[in-house]
């Protein structure tokens, strides 16, 4: 029956050829190539849970009185957005599960994008011809971070509402156009009533549409250019070695998607996230202590905290303090990030195509630089928790802040030479990081010693074979002809009518003159078994 | 040990220490908070009841003994204060009761910020000290006295939540987890405190805490806040799972990264392949074939590239 | 295909049986070791995967039951998790151990165009394009003009409709000369309402709860008469701004706009919870720690004949964080 269906499409759209190419597509199988898939699958979880949430969430700043089941909020005025989120958490069946899965999936989404980006960086997969894919990927990182911010701001609770206030101030701090942009974005002065509905449509429609578009381009380029691979047996710049899409990759990736969903579900079962009913609705004159943004915005918050209190004032104008850590820093960050393939090409004078990946240890300077830059942002990220750290470590807040102002320079300065040294040392040792086989020491009868490698552990004894090529060119027979299995086992062609092969000719199982028909898609030809 | 071994060991230990400390700090810290607060079992109902009469001479004498032994070295023999401690003559019974019941006083060390710990004195002894000190001088007007009974049965927790968010959350955090203020002092967490302590703290403004008198927060409003703290701060509704210490995105970020992304990376390690060992055995040809001699097609045969 | 001379259709070769084209069999090589499954014990692998699927079935059934019976979110989540992990595990075991183990390869063709492909493309593009635009400068220029005007004009609905111009809105609050100071419930505040070391969040009566007019009224000193002395640089302007030891500052932080709701009674400092800027209350709220660049604006107070707090005037500078047009106040 599936055969008949495929046949129906094939005759009209001619999909056999591209389908064959698709199922024969080879995917290199290294585990680090699956990190991007974590991002993809958590994005799918986000879309699925997000659709559920849009059916219940009301993106409105209109004041309502809460009459639901959560006693500390009963009778209190709040925005409809907040009320509908509390409703989702307590009254909608499965609502809290969906809310928590959505938020945990968002954290995993951005986290896996960052890890994926690091993998691409440290293995040099961004080099020619993949610079465009790197730019698209880093754009998606920016969009993912921004969409996450929009998403957790939607419930209009006290904690995220404070973040919205800060974002107004940040937009306001842009020279020349800042106050205009802030007023345009918010539909007036802060807080106004437009920002929640606008955040909603950005979060639910505009940014996801852009992300989906970029993602399609990202994956499309990956399919067209084929995946990179590490050096190894049988792998060259002119081939791709791995497993085919069907059935291996489909099964493993499909299973991995389910596992990723399962991990998200596990987090949602065990750990509570964003309990907005404990925070209460946002009101511009109320605030809580120990307020941080979600982790992927943490580096911005940390930068805002440790920035010294400088401001540029003159000639009737001002470049406010918040501009430097919140606009200039991310601007430079993302600018350099996007341009990195070209920067590195220029620094290394390497403009050639690269299909084989570097091991990070083989490029110590790039690895050390990347590690140092990552350490810089990690320290900024840590700096967003100055008050929480001061409290739990019982250290004065002043000491913590001052320390971070120094650490932001000291830590990268230490990380660079340490990482460089580690790369160099790993290079010198063969099979560093691989599991070693023990050497069994044997003593011969006359006292001499010799060593013999022990048996490999069960999981290690993978027999490495040369890769089997799949992409055999076939002579395509013009569509006029039918295809037959010949008596001697080969496949031949027979001219048929001008209108193309009759339906009967291509139906599997139909017999004609004793010659067997070829098998259908899911019918394995008898001589195969 | 080789240099490489040293670096690996150092890196591993550092990674272990960092992750363990983060997990410990943020996950267990939330639990640790509850135990740090001194154990509510040590605090019996701290209200004044009709059995506590304030005028018995024997209680005054006992109170004087306790005061001289434990408090006078800093607060002066006549509770007049000094360079190390403020005067206690006019502060009122509520203040003295609060500082003794919470265990802030006596200080563990003379120079340390008062920390909540198991109260040194039992209820009767606290009241004896209170009676003694308040007998030394009249309480200044406006300074609160120990409440007769803090009755929260009529507390409107919704109102209390709103008032808490306005007045208390900026220091104690909206979940009552407490946080660090400047210069080494901190706003303590609100778990493990009794309703009388909350009442007394609001009214007397201990230490750096501001003082909210009846003109700022009315008596009914104080009851609302106390009701909210005792019910929803100390027993928050957590249907979503482990509450991660109530510090919000900081802890959630760590869990999301280390547990969430970590678990999926481990899954990827299982699902995917590893890079091969570099060949050092030189048995190239043998590995490519099986017993029948049907080898993989030699990879030179890419004529149709 | 055209008709042949003898009236039949189809290529002549196709009708000749001896010219039947041999098509090689696909990439199927059932005897190659790469086609064998990876499992040393396929039966065991199959059992493992099957048990994963069974666990998943149980998990999903549990999810259905939890949903139907409206159990807590924990049960919904954990059954969901068990189902998906079981399914994923089974599928991965199948994919790793019970499928052709590989490795397989395919050729990587260079995507760079062949030598003349691009030239031919450019020629095709240019040759017909030339006919279209050569000596049609008028057309090109007028098209450019129309597109340009459209582009400029589109900025208006895309941007300008989004919100009003800021004008002077950021520089003003609702505080006026003579405004009463009221709390969030609208009650007018008297000095006796605030104990020493206490504070109230206050607003002008016509903007209760206003984001920009929020003000912290703090009782710093139990003065019986007179005014809190301002710091030296403000001795002239602010001599009478803080009657009887009460002082009022804008609650909107000058760094990023969070409410500075944290008042430390003993050290007489305001601490902003967002990024920990510290303002010294007796020193005209000058920031001494953290990223805040400017002191909090002070609201000048007086006490009227009925004993209520009122503002002598609005704030003398814009409140809150800085922006380009703020000038050098």
Portion of chain B with pLDDT greater than 90, in percent: 22
pLDDT at A491 over 60: no
Beta-carbon contacts of C281 under 8 Å, excluding residues fewer than 6 positions away, are: C218, C220, C247, C249, C263, C268, C269, C270
pLDDT value at C4 more than 90: no
As a whole number, mean pLDDT of residues B92-118 equals 79
- What would you report as the CA-atom Rg of chain A, rounded to the nearest whole angstrom? 30
pLDDT at A314: 86
pLDDT band at C134 (very low <50, low <70, confident <90, very high): confident
Structural element, H or E, at residue C125: helix C117-133
Tell me the chain A residues in contact with residue C214 when contact means C-beta distances shorter than 8 Å. 284-285
pLDDT (average), residues A365-369: 96
Between the ranges A516-520, B174-178, C40-44, C277-281, where is the mean pLDDT highest?
C277-281
Q: CA–CA separation, A111 vs A263, rounded Å?
A: 14
Looking at per-residue confidence, does A206 or C224 come out higher? A206
Secondary structure (3-state) at C257:
coil
Q: How far apart are CA C72 and CA C66, in angstroms?
A: 8
Provide the token pair at C280.
């010294």
Q: How far is C167 from chain B (nearest CA, A)?
A: 31
Closest CA to A222 of A200, A203, A245, A189: A245
> How, if at all, do strands C104-107 and A468-469 pair?
parallel
Q: What is the pLDDT of residue C228?
A: 92
Q: How far is C238 from chain B (nearest CA, A)?
A: 25
pLDDT at B297: 32
d(CA C103, CA A242): 5
**Does pLDDT of A345 surpass 90?**
yes
Q: What is the ipTM of this complex?
A: 0.86
Determine the pLDDT at residue B296. Answer: 32
Confidence of residue A477 (pLDDT cuts 50, 70, 90): low
Cβ atoms of C322 and C254 within 8 Å: the answer is yes
Measured between beta carbons, which residues in chain C are less than 8 angstroms from residue B142? 195
Burial A218-248 (b: 16+ CB within 10 A, else e): beeeeeebbbbbbebbbbbeebbbbbbbebb
Q: How many CA atoms lie within 13 A of C104 on its CB side?
A: 27
User: Among A464-468, B5-9, B220-224, C216-220, which stretch is predicted with the lowest mean pLDDT?
Assistant: B5-9
Cis geometry, peptide bond prior to residue A129 (ω within 30 degrees of 0): yes
What average pLDDT does the structure give for chain B? Answer: 75
Partner-chain contact C107 A471, CB within 8 Å: yes
- 3-class DSSP assignment, residue C168: coil
Tokens describing residue C190: 């008297």
Task: Look at A304 and C291 and tell me if their CB atoms are within 8 Å.
Answer: yes
Statement: residue B94 has pLDDT above 50: yes
Of A25, A262, A285, the CB nearest to C209: A285
Please give, rounded to a whole number of angstroms, the shortest distance from the CA of A246 to a CA of chain C: 10
Residue of A262, A271, A297 to mutate, testing the B interface (most B Cβ within 10 Å of its Cβ): A271
Question: What is the rounded (10 degree) CA torsion for C29, C31, C33, C39?
Answer: 110
- Tell me the pLDDT tens digit for each residue of A318-336: 999 999 999 999 999 999 9
Task: Tell me, yes or no, if A284 comes closer than 8 A to chain C by beta carbon.
Answer: yes
Confidence of residue C1 (pLDDT cuts 50, 70, 90): very low
Domains of chain B with CATH codes = 43-146 (1.10.760.10), 150-236 (1.10.760.10)
User: b/e map of A190-201 (b: 16 or more CB within 10 Å)?
Assistant: bbbeebbbbbbe
Say whether C21 and A477 touch across the interface (CB within 8 A). yes
* pLDDT tens-place string over residues A2-42: 888 988 998 899 888 788 888 888 888 889 999 999 999 99
**Is the whole model's pTM more than 0.80, yes or no?**
yes
CA distance A413 to chain B (A): 16
Of A435, A32, C77, A228, nearest in space to B266 by CA:
A32
The more confident residue out of A471 and B243 is: B243
Asked whether the beta carbons of residue A401 and residue C14 sit closer than 8 angstroms, the reply is: no
Q: How many CB atoms lie within 10 A of CB B305?
A: 12
Q: Which chains touch C (3 or more CB pairs under 8 A)?
A: A, B
Domains of chain A and any CATH numbers: 22-293 (1.20.810.10), 477-529 (no CATH)
- On the question of pLDDT at B34 being above 50, the answer is no
pLDDT of res. B33: 40
Compare CB distances from C32 to B209, B216, B294 and report the shortest one's residue: B294
**Which one has a higher pLDDT value, A188 or B19?**
A188
At residue A517, φ and ψ (nearest 5 deg) are -80, 155
Q: What is the pLDDT, as a whole number, of residue A497?
A: 41
Chain A partners of B298 at a C-beta cutoff of 8 Å? 466
Mean per-residue pLDDT, A183-201:
94
Question: Does the beta carbon of A289 lie under 8 angstroms from any beta carbon of chain C?
Answer: yes
The chain C residue lying nearest A225, using CA atoms, is C111
Decide if B236 and A108 are in contact by the 8 Å CB cutoff.
Answer: no
Which of A260, A391, A402 to mutate: most B Cβ within 10 Å? A391
Question: Which member of C34, C193, C264 has the closest CB to residue B181?
Answer: C264
For the record, the structure tokens of A470 come out as 């799949």
**Alpha-carbon dihedral C20, C26, C29, C35, rounded to 10 degrees:** -170
Q: Cβ separation of B296 and A465 shorter than 8 Å?
A: yes
Nearest to C259 by CA among C219, C294, C292, C212: C212
pLDDT at residue B247 in the model: 78
Non-local CB neighbours of B227 within 8 Å, separated by 6+ positions: B152, B155, B156, B157, B160, B195
Buried-state track C156-171, b at ≥16 Cβ within 10 A, e below 16 = eeeeeebbeebeeebb
- Identify the pLDDT of residue A458: 64
What angle, rounded to 10 degrees, do the helices at A364-383 and A298-306 form?
70
Chain A residue with CA closest to B36: the answer is A392
Residue A510 has pLDDT above 90, yes or no: no
Residue labelled with tokens 């979503």: B240
Closest CB to C107: pick one of B166, B270, B305: B305
- DSSP lists the bridge partners of residue A485 as A491
**Phi, psi (deg, nearest 5) at residue C39:** -70, 135
Tens-digit pLDDT profile for residues C170-226: 888 999 999 999 999 999 999 999 999 999 999 999 999 999 999 999 999 888 889
Each residue's pLDDT tens digit, C152-172:
998 888 888 888 988 888 888
Q: Select from B182, B212, B305 the Cβ nearest to the Cβ of C271.
A: B182
A320 touching C (Cβ < 8 Å): yes
What is the model's pLDDT at position A37?
94
Give the model's pLDDT for residue C5.
Answer: 53
Q: For residue B130, report the phi and psi dihedrals to the nearest 5 degrees.
A: -55, -45
Tokens of C69: 């019976």
Collect all residues with Cβ–Cβ distance below 8 Å to C114 and sequence separation of at least 6.
none
Whether residue B250 lies within 8 A of chain A, CB to CB, comes out as yes
Q: Do C211 and A191 touch (CB under 8 A)?
A: yes
């Amino acid at each position: 029956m599936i055969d008949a269906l495929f046949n129906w499409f094939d005759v009209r759209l001619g999909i056999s050829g591209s389908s064959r190419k698709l199922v024969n597509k080879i995917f290199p199988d290294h585990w680090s190539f699956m990190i991007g898939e974590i991002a993809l699958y958590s994005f799918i979880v986000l879309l699925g849970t997000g659709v559920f949430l849009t059916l219940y969430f009301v993106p409105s700043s209109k004041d309502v009185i809460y009459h639901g089941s959560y006693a500390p909020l009963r009778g209190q005025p709040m925005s409809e957005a907040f009320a509908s989120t509390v409703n989702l958490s307590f009254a909608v069946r499965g609502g809290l599960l969906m809310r928590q899965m959505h938020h945990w999936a968002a954290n995993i989404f951005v986290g896996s994008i960052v890890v994926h980006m690091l993998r691409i960086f440290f293995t040099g997969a961004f080099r020619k011809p993949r610079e465009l894919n790197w730019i698209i990927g880093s754009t998606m990182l920016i969009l993912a971070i921004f969409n996450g911010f929009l998403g957790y701001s939607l419930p209009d609770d006290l904690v995220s509402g404070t973040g919205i206030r800060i974002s107004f101030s940040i937009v306001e701090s842009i020279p020349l156009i800042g106050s205009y942009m802030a007023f345009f974005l918010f539909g007036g002065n802060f807080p106004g009533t437009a920002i929640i509905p606008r955040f909603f449509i950005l979060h639910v429609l505009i940014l996801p549409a852009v992300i989906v578009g970029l993602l399609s381009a990202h994956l499309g380029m990956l399919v067209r250019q084929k995946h990179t691979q590490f050096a190894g047996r049988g792998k060259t710049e002119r081939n791709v070695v791995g497993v085919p899409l069907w059935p291996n990759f489909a099964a493993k990736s499909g299973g991995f998607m389910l596992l990723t969903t399962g991990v998200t579900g596990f987090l949602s079962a065990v750990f509570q996230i964003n309990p907005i009913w404990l925070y209460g609705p946002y009101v511009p004159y109320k605030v809580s202590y120990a307020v941080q943004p979600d982790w992927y915005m943490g580096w911005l918050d940390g930068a805002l905290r440790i920035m010294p209190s400088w401001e540029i004032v003159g000639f009737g104008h001002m470049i406010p303090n918040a501009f430097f850590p919140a606009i200039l820093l991310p601007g430079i960050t993302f600018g350099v990030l996007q341009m990195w393939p070209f920067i590195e090409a220029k620094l290394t004078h390497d403009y050639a195509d690269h299909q084989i990946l570097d091991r990070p240890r083989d490029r110590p300077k790039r690895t050390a630089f990347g590690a140092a830059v990552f350490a810089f942002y990690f320290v900024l990220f840590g700096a967003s928790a100055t008050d929480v750290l001061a409290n739990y470590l019982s250290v004065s807040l002043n000491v913590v802040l001052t320390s971070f102002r120094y650490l932001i320079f000291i830590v990268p300065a230490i990380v660079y030479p340490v990482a460089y040294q580690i790369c160099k040392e790993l290079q010198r040792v063969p099979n560093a990081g691989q599991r070693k086989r023990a050497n069994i020491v044997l003593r011969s009868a006359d006292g001499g010693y010799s060593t013999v490698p022990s048996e490999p552990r069960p999981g290690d004894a993978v027999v490495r074979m040369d890769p089997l090529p799949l992409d055999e060119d076939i002579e395509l027979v013009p569509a006029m002809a039918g295809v037959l299995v010949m008596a001697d086992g080969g496949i031949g062609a027979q001219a048929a009518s001008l209108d193309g092969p009759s339906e009967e000719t291509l139906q599997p199982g139909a017999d004609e003159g004793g010659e067997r028909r070829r098998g259908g898609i899911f019918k394995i030809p008898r001589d195969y078994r | 040990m080789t240099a490489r071994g040293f670096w690996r060991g150092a890196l591993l230990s550092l990674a272990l220490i960092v992750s363990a400390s983060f997990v410990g700090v943020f996950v267990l810290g939330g639990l640790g908070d509850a135990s740090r607060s001194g154990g509510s079992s040590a605090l019996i109902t701290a209200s004044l009841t009709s059995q506590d009469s304030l005028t018995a001479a024997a209680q005054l004498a006992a109170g004087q003994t306790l005061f001289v032994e434990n408090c006078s070295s800093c607060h002066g023999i006549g509770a007049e204060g000094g360079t190390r401690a403020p005067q206690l003559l006019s502060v009122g019974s509520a203040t003295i009761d609060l500082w003794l019941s919470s265990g802030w006083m006596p200080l563990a060390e003379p120079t340390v910020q008062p920390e909540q710990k198991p109260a040194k004195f039992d209820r009767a002894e606290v009241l004896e000290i209170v009676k003694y000190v308040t007998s030394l001088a009249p309480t200044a007007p406006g300074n609160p006295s120990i409440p007769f009974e803090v009755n929260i049965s009529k507390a409107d927790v919704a109102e209390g939540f709103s008032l808490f968010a306005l007045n208390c959350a900026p220091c104690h955090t909206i979940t009552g987890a407490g946080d660090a203020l400047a210069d080494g002092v901190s706003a303590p967490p609100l778990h493990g405190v009794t309703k009388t302590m909350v009442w007394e703290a609001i009214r007397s403004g201990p230490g750096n805490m501001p003082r909210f008198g009846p003109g700022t927060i009315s008596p009914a409003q104080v009851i609302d806040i106390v009701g909210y703290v005792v019910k929803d701060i100390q027993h928050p509704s957590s249907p979503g799972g482990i509450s991660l210490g109530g510090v919000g995105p900081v802890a959630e970020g760590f869990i999301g990264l280390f547990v969430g992304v970590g678990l999926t990376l481990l899954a990827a390690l299982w699902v995917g392949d590893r890079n091969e060992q570099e060949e050092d055995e030189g048995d190239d040809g043998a590995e490519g074939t099986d017993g029948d001699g049907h080898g993989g097609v030699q990879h030179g045969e890419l004529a149709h590239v | 295909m055209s008709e042949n001379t003898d009236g039949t259709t189809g290529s002549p070769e196709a009708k000749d049986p001896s010219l039947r084209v041999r098509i090689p069999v696909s990439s199927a090589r059932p005897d190659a070791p790469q086609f064998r499954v990876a499992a040393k014990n396929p039966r065991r692998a199959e059992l493992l995967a099957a048990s994963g699927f069974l666990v998943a079935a149980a998990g999903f059934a549990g999810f259905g039951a939890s949903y139907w019976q409206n159990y807590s979110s924990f049960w919904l989540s954990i059954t969901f998790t068990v189902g998906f992990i079981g399914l994923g595990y089974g599928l991965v075991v199948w994919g790793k151990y019970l499928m052709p183990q590989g490795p397989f390869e395919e050729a990587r063709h260079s995507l760079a165009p062949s030598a003349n492909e691009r030239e031919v493309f450019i020629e095709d593009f240019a040759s017909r394009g030339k006919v279209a635009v050569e000596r049609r400068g008028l057309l090109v220029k007028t098209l450019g003009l129309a597109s340009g005007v459209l582009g400029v004009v589109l900025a208006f609905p895309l941007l300008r409709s989004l919100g009003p111009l800021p004008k002077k809105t950021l520089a003003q609050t609702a505080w006026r000369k003579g405004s009463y100071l009221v709390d969030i419930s609208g009650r007018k505040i008297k000095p006796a309402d605030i104990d020493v070391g206490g504070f109230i969040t206050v607003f002008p009566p016509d903007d209760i709860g206003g984001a920009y007019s929020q003000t912290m009224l703090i009782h710093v000193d139990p003065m019986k008469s007179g005014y809190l002395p301002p710091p030296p640089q403000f001795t002239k302007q602010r001599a009478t701004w803080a009657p009887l030891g009460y002082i009022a500052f804008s609650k909107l932080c000058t760094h990023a706009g969070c409410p500075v709701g944290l008042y430390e009674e003993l050290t007489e400092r305001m601490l902003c919870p967002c990024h920990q800027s510290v303002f010294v209350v007796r020193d005209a709220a000058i920031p001494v720690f953290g990223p805040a660049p400017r002191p909090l604006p002070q609201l000048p107070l007086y006490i009227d004949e009925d004993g209520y707090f009122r503002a002598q005037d609005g704030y003398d500078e814009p409140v809150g964080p800085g922006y380009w047009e703020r000038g050098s106040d």
